[in-house]
Structure 1
Amino acid sequence: MPESGFPSYIYTYTHTEDEASLCGMELRCLFGRVIPPMLFSSGIQVDVSRSPFIKERVDVMYAGDTLEEIYKQTEQVELAGQTFKVIFVKTNDLAPEHKVEYDERRAIEREIGMRIEGEADVNRPERVYGLVTLGGRWYFGTYHKNKATWLRQMQKPRSYSIALSTRVARAAVNMAVPRIPGVKAIDPCCGIGTVMVEALSMGIDIVGRDINPFIAAGARTNIAHFGFESTVTLGDIADIEEHYDAAIVDMPYNLYSSITPEEQFAILANARRIAGRVVIVAIEAMDEMISSAGFTIIDRCIAKKGLFSRHLMLCE
């Protein structure tokens, strides 16, 4: 562990311009604060592959004001016979005049590699270490890269055009369930199961429900296709009796269905009844209706895709 006063973890992240709002809210939910651009430190450990935006994480072992201090400390690394690799993290907050170019990054990696007693393996190392600079200091530690596991989940056997994108669904799950252990979640209007698949891929205990038998069957097919197990029941949200820690509610859209405002309100009121923390996804802001259902909106964002936008509202 790093000595007192050092950050425990340093993360880097990236997003498109359209995803800036979505990314910002997801990171606020995961880390409990507004996150600065590109990279940041935190005492909270988050699996980097949970987020569609986080790129990498360094678990800080050593810190120094200069590279020489880092070089000296890395001589203490113990590998227990394992092979290793050192990565200079490209994302940093260095001023343009202090930018470290490609050749110098490789030279720094080699310098550290020579000071670590063991066998380097750039192709299939058993341990990977990262070097990153943040706030004028250098940090070295175990390196973790996002495995982008959700990419395989983009190709579902059952799909339809208005389903949430995989990235939006994954971010919504992280907003609803920032801490996984012991949390029971539900998607009470689960559609073809996009949200459920993402939640299950993170190890979240989630069940689903949908009023449409054909759509519910599609959700079961998609969940099974990726090797996950969960329950998708058939029926109205009003008939749910169990209480859950969290829910993700992708509201049916007037644009594509015959749902009335009264039916929309009933979904919100029942979501308030069955869950303590709810992420509501809608094609428009629904502040008045959400408030009337007994919720307080504690955070919000807009996820854009071309001309189409979805509002995500975290409610308690």
Structure 2
Amino acid sequence: MLRKERITLNKKNQGWLQEFLDNCQRQNKSPHTIKNYRSDLEKYLTWYENQFRGPISQKNNDTIGRYKEFLLNGGEVNQRAHLFRRLFWFLKSRRKKLVQKPLGNNSAKRHLSTLKNFYEFLKQNHEDHSKLFSINPVKEKIHSIKVKDIDIEHTPILPYDQWRTLIESTYRTRERVILQLLYWGGLRLSELSGLRYNDFQATRKTITLRRKGGYRHELKIQNFDEIFKNIQFMEQSAKSEYIFVNKSNRAISTRSMYSLIKKLLLRSNCSANIGPHSFRKACATNLYKRTKDLLFVRDYLNHSDAKVTQTYIDTNTLYLEHQVQ
């Protein structure tokens, strides 16, 4: 993280950054994703302004290559500040610095992915009236970072025995519904947190979800009857259109939802590395085991590419069950 206080950037760079973040919000990106985008881009823009003293529309040779080396090898750059802060630092004979510790390949790759998305947005946003960003400087072949499988921290699947212990030891209806929607629906935290009572269609046995990108997707969820029975019970005493609410009867935040799920996992003595995404991986694996249809699982989880879906299917679980058979 760059710093806790607000940093000062070149006005043009600050404006382009804000345009990108506003667009992410319109696309229904999660607050956590937007926060990471802001952190990554503020770090890059601080580094850029220290190196080139101007807006990112300037043409500089292999800017991304140099920044890639900064991420991988580490370094220090001075941060710009407001005039009064500059005077204060002068009097104190010190400057605030951005200290970058060397990143692993996986973290550096994520940073470059953020830059690629940022420049692609600027390119598309300016192509009709300006040539400032006619080329995306992040080149796949030149700036790619190879990540070995050993460097990747894979999301563990929620084993079936731990799922049974978890659901059988959870008695509150609200908490049971959360677990059921995660395990049988494979919902993302943002989709789960924003659910409304009228999103459930009893006649069609479907749930309408607000997916990534902001569009609505009607999902025919597994075990609908059992889930809907609990939803109807909750609705009898509901004071909000949202199913999962905070003390102010507003939709619960994704961060609060994450904390609640981790609390339930801890209470049931589930493995420490199990998290909310482990449910999604279990959902994908169980669906594929039952249907043997990768494209069906892809559509169920709302993935844009079946290659992504393949990473959610736990091959070890499938192999062990095949051995038993």
Instruction: Tell me if TM exceeds 0.5.
Output: no
TM-score (norm 2): 0.27
TM-score (norm 1): 0.28
Q: Which of the pair is proportionally richer in helix?
A: 2
